[in-house]
Structure 1
Amino acid sequence: MKKLIKLGIALVAIISLNACTEDDGFTFIAKEDPDGLTFANTPSGSYTLTAANADNMAERFVWNAVDFGVQTPVSYELQGAATESFDNITVIPAGNSTNVAVTVSEMMDLAEEAGLDNDPTTAEPNTGIIYFRVRAYVGSNGGNVVDQFSDVISVTVNLPEQSEEEDEDLPKLYVVGNFLSASGYGTDWTATDGVPIAAEAEGNTAYEGFVYMNVDAPQFKILQTNENFDDNYGDAGETDGVYTGILESPGVNAGTPDGTGGYYLVNVDTDALTYELTETSWGVIGNATPTGWDSDTDMTYDSDTQTWSVTLDLTEQEATDNGFKFRANDAWDLNLGDTDADGSLEFAGDNIGVPEDGNYTITLDLSNPRQYKYSISKN
């Protein structure tokens, strides 16, 4: 995935507008921080757009006010298009404001209209140009209107290749047990409802994934497919619910280290015939958060969405030196950051920046093994 890092130079276009007087020209600017989040500063200066950040603000476009010489307030709208002719436009109303935010999702829609594709199995390009301009007008769009348009700004966008299809091919095991129904996964002891854990690649015998076991005394087994219980793994102990950390096929039903439920990181090695469960509770920490780097702000788990989330005030911070990270159990043993600034997470990854001060909802999604992601959305 491409890096999302700050644009070095704002986009500026000075326009001559002729509907009223020659003095009515205005400037169209894609403004730098702190007024808006700028996108990828790759050598081509392209914006990298990912579905993981669909709700995030991509850019705040800013322009100066236009004087039509009348008392009626001037209205503005930002128009986006897949072609420079603006035959088909996406309109983002700005009202009387001289700025408007464009989300990643809105840019992605324009990119797809322009024929871009992030499917690596097709021959379509995943990098191209989309276009923006500002319309200033007085009057009603349904009646008499006097309007002016800025010159057109072209923006290079990149849709990185999706990794989800590749992840479907990763070797997987499936955890089933008496917790599936209470934890929002499906029917207890049902192979097709098993919770996947994944290895990094074919031939790798080390599997990991997160499993919610919302019962008082969890018992489970590990399946080699989500179709049946053939050649399943259990614990090498003598009684159901035991936890020795040693696998045996078929073995007895395995349990958790202290016999209680929770949200567990599950590690399994089918070569060494070992397994390990680490109970986790997640929070955010960093100088972008109210408590800084001193303590975590706890997140809440939702079994319906299989995500952790928290709503809090954040301050503008620039990664990678500043920002925030995800941390388990108020300790640094398990922490997640975003090294590629693409919405995906890595253990011990880089800090995550915040584009501007405000109240945000942060969501952490650990449901897809080895494809952990997050979103940060301003309220």
Structure 2
Amino acid sequence: MKSKLFKSLALGLMVLSLWSCKKEETQTVSNITPAGTLTASSTNLNLVQSNGTQAALTLSFPLSTVTGYVVPVTSTLQFDLKGKNFSTPTEIVLTTGSYAPTVSQFNSMILALGGVVGTPAQVEVRLKSGAAVNDITYSNVVTLNATPYLASAWIYLPGAYQGWEPTTADSLVSLSSNGIYTGMIAFTADNLAFKITPAKKWDGAYGDAGSGNISTSGGDLISPDALVKQVTVDLNKKTIAFGTPNEWSIIGDATPGGWTTDTDMKVTNDGKANFYTIKTNLTVGALKFRFQHDWATNLGGALGTLTTGGDNIAITAAGTYTITLDVAAKKATLVKN
């Protein structure tokens, strides 16, 4: 009996030993080289708007190599203003060992990071590399010197509200060319779908990616309602937001809606929401300008010197008029077509 017990114990230990050896033999380890040295073709950059499509610089680095068990390694360039310690960096994920942003792209990046037009800025860049959050390494930091310039830029919103024609679509503007665009779009009932295009053509159109995000592979974007909306698009973060605009309208017995219904004016999307226009039929009578469909703020009196709560503006001849309102200057024009 004792002999059988010893034989059983011996057999068990042998099996355990073989299993342990097998487990050790099948273990593999990933060996990932740390982030390599980051180099820049130039560190003093001359940003000139006329050279916007040319490369501002080229950043180069060796891609990490993996031996043993192969895992995907992510290489990311991080940019931030000097002194911010990469607290809120702009990140560019790369699959090659170099990155050459254009002058326009780098100018926009500086402004998006908080740089000021016409003021010299120092931008720090480093390489972040690794296969997991707990296995990240960083390269050396390279400091880039550049002065951002002012350059307004536009994107376009072709959609059902205007017949899906990109060449005539309303625009959003970025006054500082920082990648953030805003403007007012008048959406109409049953015509809420639209897309975003970088130019007046369908190439590179952005659509809905869900939860306020946009992507070039997304479907139609949808306005939340059939009203004039303040639309803001951030192409840095690939997001879109809708808000209540600073809306001006005309009202009065000379207008299509009389004294009961406002006729909305269309903003010139210059980023300041100061200029509003409308082409409409007027009859003999009077009108005033009104803010947010409310009498709390209204403009009247002489067209060249509008005053808050001023007198009704007389229309002495019926016809089609082009009406322009300059809110900042408090003046308007009425031109009979």
TM-score by length of 1: 0.32
Higher relative contact order (CA 8 A, sep 6+): 1
Structure in which a larger fraction of residues adopt helix: 2
TM-score by length of 2: 0.36
Please say which structure displays the higher CA radius of gyration. 2
